[in-house]
Every structure is written in structure tokens, then in C-alpha cells.
Structure 1
Amino acid sequence: MSSAKRKSEARAGSRSHGRDPESSRREILEAAAEIFMEYGYAATSLDHVAERLGATKGRVYHYFPSKADLFLGIHQGAMETLIATVAPLLDGPGTAAERLHAMAMAHARMLMTRSPEQKVAVGKLERHLLRGATARHQHTLQAIVRLRDDYEQLFAEVLSEGMREGDFAVQPPRLATKPVLGALNWLTVWYQPRRGESSEDIEIIARMIADFVVKGLRKGEPLP
């Protein structure tokens, strides 16, 4: 598609339906996450996203000029949402173990209720985009990596507190975040919403996984 035609479609999309820009952007990202999950990165196009929305391609181009922009937008949005949800729990009441449990439940709940977006974000984004990425995309990639580091640090801090309190086995806190988040993120592999599933059902699953995570860190007998 020529640059002129793309700009023309983008202008048309910007005028479409008088939508609020943020809600329109959010709607596009949600549709794109579903498409990426169904078709994979290579087979997805902006045409697919526009078709899923029942919208013009110009509406998508207005916010996301390329598939890479969409893909990165999903990753960045997912990480920002996780941080905004989990970070306040780090300074909440209770012991470090209790706060870790609350953080793990919040993470698990998010993965189950925002499944397409989080499934895309948990994937290995670098394999699609690091090679041949534009300077603009590299800048966004670096921002996403920083968000991931910041998110891991939240868990490292509460793990470190739990070790000082004597509840958790002493180990490098940052390294300990890997199996913790790995156990939580595995939800995106096996979890599928069931017909008639209630919010109580989701809470039960989230609690079971959080229990597993916290118990696995408890201080036990030393290894031989």
C-alpha cells in the first residue's frame, strides 16, 4: 500500500464514529490480541484486526501504523496493567508471605480475565521483533524490557522481605522470581474459560495457584 493511501485511510479512521481515542485504542488492542492468539504473529495482518472489529482499516492505521506497533502495544499495555494492579499490594498489610499471596492471586486473576492480551504478552516477543526492528520499535522494546524488570523487582522485594522474616528459604531473590512467575504464567498455557464459569470459580483457581507458589518458597529442612 502506498504511503499516500495509508495516510488517507488513517485520516478516515481518525474521524470514524467520533470515538474516544483511548477506548478506541483499547478496543483495537483487544481485538488484535485475539487475532494474534488465533493466527500467530506471521499470519496476522491489520486487515484481520479491522475485519474482527467490523471497522475500516483506516481506523486501525490511525493508532497503529504497522503490525509490529500493534504487537508491541499489546505487550506494553499488558505489562502496565499488571504493574498497576500488583504494585499497590507490595505495600499492603500483613507479612511478606501474605502480601506475596495477594500479589500472586492478582497476577493469576489478571491472566484468567484478560487472557488473550496476557497470553500474547507472556510469549517471547524478541523472536518476532528484535531482528530488523526500526529505531522506533527498538525504543518501545527497551521500554517493555524495563517494565518487565520493574515487575520482577516487585516480587524480588517481597521475596527478600520474606527471607528476612524467616518465612522463605534464603536464596537470591531476583533468581527466585523466575519459578514464581513461571508457575503463574503457566496459566496462559493450560487455562481455558469454561461455560458458565463464575468469578468465584476464578478466585478458587487463583487461590490454589497462589497457595502453591507461597508453599514452594517456605523455609524447610536443609537439603543434604
Structure 2
Amino acid sequence: MAKQKINQERESDAKNEIVRTAAEIFMNYGYAATSIDAIAEKMGATKGRIYHYYRSKAQIFFDIQRTAMTQLMQAVEPIAQEKVPAEEKLPRMAWEHLSLMLRELPVQKVAVQGLEKYLFEAEGFRHAKTLSEINALRDDYEQMFAEVIDAGAREGVFVKDSPRLLTKPFFGTMNWVTVWYRPRRIQSDEDIDTICSTLVDFAMRGLRDPKGGT
């Protein structure tokens, strides 16, 4: 059992390295221009090492999507489950979401922009099952936010409208950071925190009910 666990950890570490390296290349050059050769070269590895874990770059691309959603769920779900008012909970969830967008930019940017932008308009039918799985993960994640928005509306602090509809501009405000944000060579954690706080405050203003007294 111990040996099996060690082998599983090694495989997980190896796949994580491939995913992170591939995410940087997908982010910079797009899906079509990325090859297994390019990923291997960036890693200083052979193509055989990549193919040991993945049969195609599409599989790597989908694992980037899964990694991104796992990161977000692990960071945000514990906050969503806390027994605190929605007006306190939602900005903390949003802050964690944005913090991951900025600190894990290659993986998160490819996840936000890639699923629709790259290969799959032409070849999506070949990956329909996997696309459905990843879209379900996205829906579950958005639903957490929708439920908190709905709770806030019932508490009288958020506008009363379709919670799922309201998640769209809310996420739009946050996810747009993957379009314009460029890490600087000299950038502190405080700089990232400032960006997160500014965007969260802006997104929250769009949800608050002006008649709610906040």
C-alpha cells in the first residue's frame, strides 16, 4: 500500500508539472499553436515522458480545466458553507476566486478563456462527454455563488433577481482580470491584494439593494 501511494504521488506530481507547463504555453500561444513537442521542450523532457501520462494535448487541456476548477472549489467551498450572513460571505468567496485568478494565472486563464476559444468549435463532438463533465463542474461552482446571492436577496441586502442570471455579470467583473492583467517583475502580495479588493468592491456594488440600507 505504501509503495502504491508513493507511485500515485509521483504520478500526480508529474502530471501537475505537465499541466502547469502546458498552461503557460496555451496561455501564450493558444491551443492550435501548442504541440506536445513544445510542452516537452519547455519542461526539458522527452515527448515520451508526456505520452506516458497523456495520449494527446486535448487530454492535457482538459486536465488544465479540471485543475482550475479543483483549485477554485477547494478555496471557495469552505467559505460558502460557513453559517454567516451572505453580505459577509460573498465578498470573501469573490476575493478567494480573484486571488486564485491572479496567483495561478496560466491555469486559470486557460480555463476561463480556453474551453470556447480554442479547438472545440471544430472538434467538440469528439470530446462531448468530457466537455459535459467540465461544464457540470463549472455549473456546480457558479451555483454556490448563486445560492449565496439568493440568500442575500432573501436577507434584504441584495437585489431581487434571478440568482443564476446575476452570477454572469458578477463573474464577468472578476474573470475579465485574465484579459488585462499582466504580472510585473516586481510585484508584492499587497499589490495583488489591492487588485482583489478593488474588483470585489466593484462587483459587490452591482448586487447590493439600494433599499437594503447598506
TM-score clears 0.5: yes
Displacement of 1:138:
2.3
Superposed, which structure 2 residues align to 1:127-206 within 5 Å? 127=117, 128-133=119-124, 137-206=127-196
Question: Are 1:130 and 1:138, in contact at CA under 8 Å, matched by a contact in 2?
Answer: no
The CA RMSD measured in Å over matched residues stands at 1.6
Is 2:101 the partner of 1:111?
yes
Cα distance in 1 for partners of 2:205, 2:125 equals 44
Residue 68 of structure 1 corresponds to: 58
Q: Is there any run of 5+ residues in structure 1 with no aligned partner, and where? A: 1-18
Q: SS of the counterpart of 2:210?
A: coil
The one-letter code of the counterpart of 2:135 is: V
Instruction: State the number of aligned residues.
Output: 202
Superposed, which structure 2 residues align to 1:12-161 within 5 Å? 20-127=10-117, 128-133=119-124, 137-161=127-151
Q: Is there any run of 5+ residues in structure 2 with no aligned partner, and where? A: 1-8
Residue 5 of structure 2 corresponds to: none
The one-letter code of the counterpart of 1:132 is: E
Displacement of 1:202:
1.1
The one-letter code of the counterpart of 2:168 is: K
Cα distance in 2 for partners of 1:220, 1:182 equals 21
Identity in percent: 48
Cα distance in 1 for partners of 2:81, 2:184 equals 34
Displacement of 1:191:
1.1
Cα distance in 1 for partners of 2:78, 2:31 equals 33
TM-score by length of 1: 0.86
Q: Flag the structure with larger Rg.
A: 1
Identify which of 204, 207, 213 aligns with 1:217: 207
